[in-house]
């Protein structure tokens, strides 16, 4: 990638990520006198006014999964009531422990805990990534304790979330990534070929983030069971929608504790569970694994100390909000929401099916994923972003997706998407040199060593966010 392309890309990022420039007061030191509370609230209202339209009006892929004003107001009240709470002091806030235990219980039963003789236990974590990191660390510790494995390996399809690689880096686990098949599902035979005496767990997703197609969890978990190793279902994205899809009669492959080989599941309350950001649930088959996850010390001058997850103090208010989301929405609420989302997805796939320049994947239940044999999908996505849409640009191979949420089930949103999408395809057809946004970076990642060339670009991007 030449320097001018990079400079253009950088300028584009700066425009989007640092739009407030000098128009608003900046703080790189504490103000001497505290700022007036009303002034702060006004400032935040102003930012909200600028930023909310895009997610409220359904221009985002995923990200805000519910977003109705009454629900948000309710969540905010729950947060406010519980804002001081911290479950590290359960004697002070036993209500938060009760909420957490019940979130785990409700989620476990959603994952068919009541259909297995085994005990299903879990904890609430801060998000999908923490759930995945904790699960992988637990498998590492279990394999070390039970089998003396010192050089642990996990096997994951290429489509499994980046957090598995993060877990590998953090905990000294080799993560073997196995290419998915032509249908974007995990390749069971290829994963089997990678199993060694150091393998501690296999991974599958229900569904993976990129293409939204559920892996063959039944075959993979059975493979793991036969080898006496763990199997983690990553249902961070799909866990709170696929069970309702199944109830509604959609074809959903079994991915939960009904499969005896599934030994852990991550499932995010802060996605289709409609809780505010900051909670996920990690479930295990058997309390032995949860014990391995707990951290405790008995010889610290601060006293006896035990925590269930990576954090010490935790925001009890977010646990309260997740609990309140679950019990206020209830089975019927989730079912109705899922129905609207699944019908909107099917409608969109149908409307876009006869655009010959692109191919829409038919399998994903709550995503519209498109590829093209003849056109540059990043140009289409870039045009869509000029129309306020923010789609997910995928690579290896190039594809783009829209993850459908309740925001897209509002009146007029799906029609607007189709209209803008058709004009995007037309525009790219007529302007083969149209800008293509992220493509140069993806081009780099696909052709050369990402560590030497792409990491500095990503580091620059992250540093930009931290610039005052
Ligand atoms: C399948 C899947 N797993 C894990 C994650 C990570 O979740 P989080 O961003 O909450 O850490 C995501 C996020 O989109 C996901 O889609």
pLDDT at 448 over 70: no
**Domain definitions of the chain by residue range:** 81-326
Whether 127 lines ligand 1, by a CB cut-off of 6 Å, is: yes
Closest ligand 1 atom to residue 270 Cα is 10
The CA distance from 291 to 314, in Å, is 19
pLDDT at 1 over 60: no
The closest of 377, 419, 375 to 396, measured between CA atoms, is 377
The CA distance from 345 to 120, in Å, is 33
Q: Which of the listed residues 133, 162, 205, 209 should we mutate to test ligand 1's pocket, taking the one with most ligand atoms within 8 A of CB? A: 209
pLDDT at 23 over 60: yes
Percent of the chain with pLDDT over 70: 98
Q: What angle do CA 279, 143, 145 make, to 5 degrees?
A: 105
Q: For residue range 107-165, list pLDDT tens digits in order.
A: 999 999 999 999 999 999 999 999 999 999 999 999 999 999 999 999 999 999 999 99
The CA distance from 294 to 123, in Å, is 10
Residue 166 · residue 145 · CB < 8 Å: no
Closest ligand 1 atom to residue 235 Cα is 1
The CA distance from 433 to 456, in Å, is 27
Q: If you average pLDDT over every residue of the chain, what do you get?
A: 95
Q: Can you give the three-state secondary structure of 287-326, one letter per residue?
A: HHHHHHHCEEECCCCCCCEEECCCCCCCCHHHHHHHHHHH
Residue 358 · residue 384 · CB < 8 Å: no
User: Burial code of 219-242, b = ≥16 C-beta within 10 A, e = fewer?
Assistant: bbbbbbbebebbbbbbbbbbbbbb
What is the DSSP-derived secondary structure letter of residue 34?
P
Q: For residue range 259-313, list pLDDT tens digits in order.
A: 999 999 999 999 999 999 999 999 999 999 999 999 999 999 999 999 999 999 9
Report how far ligand 1's centroid is from the alpha carbon of 304 (Å). 33
Whether 167 lines ligand 1, by a CB cut-off of 6 Å, is: no
Report how far ligand 1's centroid is from the alpha carbon of 210 (Å). 11
Whether 208 lines ligand 1, by a CB cut-off of 6 Å, is: yes
Closest ligand 1 atom to residue 238 Cα is 1
Report how far ligand 1's centroid is from the alpha carbon of 244 (Å). 20
The CA distance from 42 to 37, in Å, is 9
> Is 0.85 topped by the overall pTM?
yes
Report how far ligand 1's centroid is from the alpha carbon of 161 (Å). 7
DSSP conformation letters of 444-460: HHHHS-HHHHHHHHHHH
CATH number of 81-326: 3.40.640.10
Count other C-beta atoms under 10 Å from residue 365's C-beta: 22
Query: For ligand 1, atom 9, which residue shows the shortest CA distance?
Result: 128
Looking up tokens 């070390």 gives 144
Q: For residue range 74-117, list pLDDT tens digits in order.
A: 999 999 999 999 999 999 999 999 999 999 999 999 999 999 99
Q: Which of the listed residues 162, 236, 281 should we mutate to test ligand 1's pocket, taking the one with most ligand atoms within 8 A of CB? A: 236
């Amino acid at each position: 990638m030449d320097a001018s392309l990079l400079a253009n890309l950088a300028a584009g990022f700066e425009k989007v990520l640092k739009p407030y420039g000098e128009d608003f007061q900046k703080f790189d030191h504490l103000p001497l006198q505290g700022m007036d509370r009303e002034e702060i609230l006004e400032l935040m209202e102003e930012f909200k006014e600028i930023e909310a339209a895009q997610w409220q009006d359904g221009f985002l892929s995923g990200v805000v999964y519910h977003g109705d004003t009454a629900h948000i107001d309710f969540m905010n009240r729950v947060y406010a009531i519980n804002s001081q709470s911290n479950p590290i002091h359960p004697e002070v806030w036993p209500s938060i422990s009760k909420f957490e235990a019940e979130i785990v219980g409700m989620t476990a039963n959603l994952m068919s805990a009541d259909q297995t003789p085994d005990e299903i236990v879990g904890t609430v974590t801060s998000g999908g990534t923490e759930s995945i990191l904790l699960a992988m660390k637990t498998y590492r510790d279990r394999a070390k304790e039970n089998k003396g494995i010192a050089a642990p390996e996990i096997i994951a399809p290429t489509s499994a979330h980046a957090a598995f690689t993060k877990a590998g880096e953090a905990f000294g686990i080799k993560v073997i990534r196995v290419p998915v098949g032509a249908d974007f599902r995990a390749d069971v035979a290829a994963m089997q070929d990678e199993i060694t005496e150091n393998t501690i767990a296999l991974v599958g997703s229900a569904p993976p983030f990129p293409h939204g197609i559920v892996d063959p969890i039944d075959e993979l978990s059975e493979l793991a069971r036969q080898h006496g190793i763990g199997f983690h279902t990553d249902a961070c994205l799909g866990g709170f929608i696929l069970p309702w899809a199944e109830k509604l009669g959609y074809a959903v492959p079994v991915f939960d504790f009904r499969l005896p080989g599934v030994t852990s599941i991550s499932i995010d309350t802060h996605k289709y569970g409609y809780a505010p950001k900051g909670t996920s649930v990690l479930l295990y088959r058997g309390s032995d694994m949860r014990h391995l996850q707990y951290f405790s010390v008995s010889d610290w001058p601060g006293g006896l100390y035990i925590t269930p997850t990576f954090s010490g103090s935790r925001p009890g208010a977010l646990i309260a909000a997740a609990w309140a989301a679950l019990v206020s929405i209830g089975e019927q609420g989730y079912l109705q929401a899922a129905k609207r989302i699944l019908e909107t997805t099917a409608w969109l796939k149908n409307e876009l099916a006869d655009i010959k320049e692109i191919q829409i994947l038919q399998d994903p239940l709550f995503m519209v994923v498109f590829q093209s044999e003849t056109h540059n999908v990043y140009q289409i996505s870039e045009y869509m972003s000029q129309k306020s849409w923010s789609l997910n640009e995928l690579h290896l191979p190039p594809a783009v997706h829209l993850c459908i949420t309740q925001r897209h089930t509002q009146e007029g949103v799906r029609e607007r998407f189709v209209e803008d999408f058709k004009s995007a395809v037309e525009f790219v057809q007529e302007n083969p040199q149209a800008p293509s946004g992220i493509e140069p970076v993806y081009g780099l990642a696909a052709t050369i060593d990402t560590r030497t060339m792409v990491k500095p670009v990503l580091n620059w991007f992250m540093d930009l966010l931290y610039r005052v």
